[in-house]
Homo-oligomer: A and B are copies of this chain.
Amino acid sequence: MAGPFTVAEIARHVGGTVEGDGDRRLSDVRGLDEAGPDHLSFLANRRYARRMRATRAGAVLVGRDEPARGRTVIRCDDPYVAFARALALFHPRPWPAPGVDPRAFVAEDAVVDGATVEAFAWVGPGAVVGPETWVQAGAVIGAGARVGRRCRLMPHSVVAEGCALGDRVWLNPGAVVGAEGFGFAPTPGGWVKIPQVGRAVVGDDVEIGANSCVDRAAMGETRVEEGARLDNLVQVGHAARVGPHSLMVAFSGVAGSARLGAGVRLAAKAAVLGHIELGDGVQVGTASVVHDGQPPGARVTGVPAIEHRRWLRAAASFGELPELRRTVRALERRVAELEARLAARDDEEEP
């Protein structure tokens, strides 16, 4: 914890302008409902504007056009980004000084100049670890792997042999980059393994969640491009490509050789099947399975995934299927009766 800070100091830090009491001292950040007089809060979504009236916060980060409602506010272009910066101001997270713990294993020909390597971390032969990178307890960097500058490899994360991370990559505990891709040739005697001799490459500023997996390719590379963010328990198959600044929420997965454009978003439990291509900005809804390629900007949901609004309407009808069926059966009876009556009349009328 750092602080307290004055409203003016905070405004300077987040790039905002004060309206109200710039000298008020604040000690931490809270949501609008939880904040007290010595807290900073934020209004990032106008849906919550009503909470702004009731908040007891000492100051609130707001957008440029938001009414101040008689409060001390810090106006910013993006109050959510300002909130992120303010949190970092009050809660600076320590980054360790460089140094290799004597209980770590670092191969003789590995390069770890300027990095921090904790006890029980393992850096294999020929590996290169950039300066300021923090290799936490039990993290493993395989033979010949390359890790950039100021990465954080949390406990038990793994960069397998020959794989590569860019700069400022953050691996959460148990994240695995470069496990074997899943490729087997069927034969009468069982499965024959396709050797997975390619690698996995992760770009700059990527974060990978706890126990998530990015497989190595059979040939060539699996790629997670710069700025992509992967939640926990996410799977990226071999030779797939996750485009820059894409988002993969928990339990989402991309099968082998699929290619995602820039800024693609996979909601929780979404799956993209193999060998297809999603254009830039495609959004896939929760628990969906995408069978076919999608043009840029498409928004799809369902199993298989269809256009999102169409899915919403269909899903809303799903629960009424039994009634619909009953209605159709009743209609069949009624139509048959009508047909019979008309036929009877025809008979009557025929001389």
Residues of B within 8 A of A31 (CB): 219
Contact between chains at A319 and B306 (CB < 8 Å): yes
Tell whether A5 is near chain B: CB-to-CB under 8 Å. no
Structural contact, A195 and B88, CB atoms closer than 8 A: yes
Contacts of A87 in B (CB 8 A): 194-195, 197, 218-219
Inter-chain contact B250/A235, CB cutoff 8 Å: yes
Check A184–B247 contact: CB distance below 8 A.
Answer: yes
State the oligomeric state as a number of copies: 3
- Is residue A332 within 8 Å, beta carbon to beta carbon, of the partner chain? yes
Cβ of A78 within 8 Å of any chain B Cβ, yes or no, is yes
Residues of chain B with a CB closer than 8 A to A91's CB: 195, 197
Which residues of B are found within 8 Å of A287, using beta-carbon distances? Answer: 271, 287, 289, 303
Chain B residues with CB below 8 A from A328, complex form: 324, 327-328, 331
In the complex, the answer to whether B176 meets A210 with C-beta atoms within 8 Å is: yes
Stretch of A51-59, A64-72, A108-116, A224-232 on the interface side: A224-232
**Once the chains bind, are B191 and A245 in contact (CB under 8 Å)?**
yes
Q: Is A273 an interface residue (CB 8 A)?
A: yes
**Closest 6 pairs (CB-CB, A-B):** A91-B197, A179-B210, A122-B137, A317-B321, A190-B227, A105-B119
Contact assessment for A179 and B194 in the assembled complex, using a CB-CB cutoff below 8 Å: no
Q: Does A310 contact B (CB under 8 A)?
A: yes
CB-nearest residue of chain B to A87: B195
- Contact yes or no, A84 B194, CB < 8 A: yes
* Contact of A138 with B122 in the complex, beta carbons under 8 Å: yes
CA distance A83 to B233 in the complex (A): 31
Q: A136-B140, A314-B320, A335-B338 are in contact. List 19 more A-B contacts (CB 8 A).
A: A120-B122, A140-B155, A156-B174, A174-B176, A180-B207, A182-B209, A190-B205, A191-B247, A211-B211, A237-B250, A268-B273, A269-B269, A287-B303, A314-B321, A317-B322, A317-B325, A318-B321, A331-B332, A331-B335
**A34–B218 CA distance with the chains assembled, in angstroms:** 14
The chain B residue sitting closest to A155, CB to CB, is B140
Given the contacts A120-B105, A227-B190, A321-B318, A232 and B335 also touching, CB distance less than 8 Å: no
Distance of A277 from chain B, by nearest CB (Å): 14
Query: Closest CB-CB distance, A130 to chain B, in whole Å?
Result: 20
Contact check: which of B118, B158, B229 meets A184 at CB < 8 Å? Answer: B229
- Contact of A335 (CB < 8 Å), options: B34, B195, B316, B335: B335
**In the docked arrangement, what's the CA distance between A324 and B103, Å?**
68
Min distance, Cβ A194 to any Cβ of chain B, angstroms:
5
Q: Which residues of B contact A310 (CB under 8 A)?
A: 319, 322
Task: Confirm or deny: A213 has a beta carbon within 8 angstroms of a beta carbon on chain B.
Answer: yes
A137-153 interface (Cβ within 8 A of B): 137-138, 140
Q: Which of A313-346 contact B (CB under 8 A)?
A: 313-322, 324-325, 327-328, 331-332, 334-335, 338-339, 341-342
| B174:A174 contact, CB within 8 angstroms | yes
CB-defined contacts of A90 to chain B, threshold 8 Å: 197
- B30, B271, B319, B321: the one within 8 Å of A269 (CB): B271
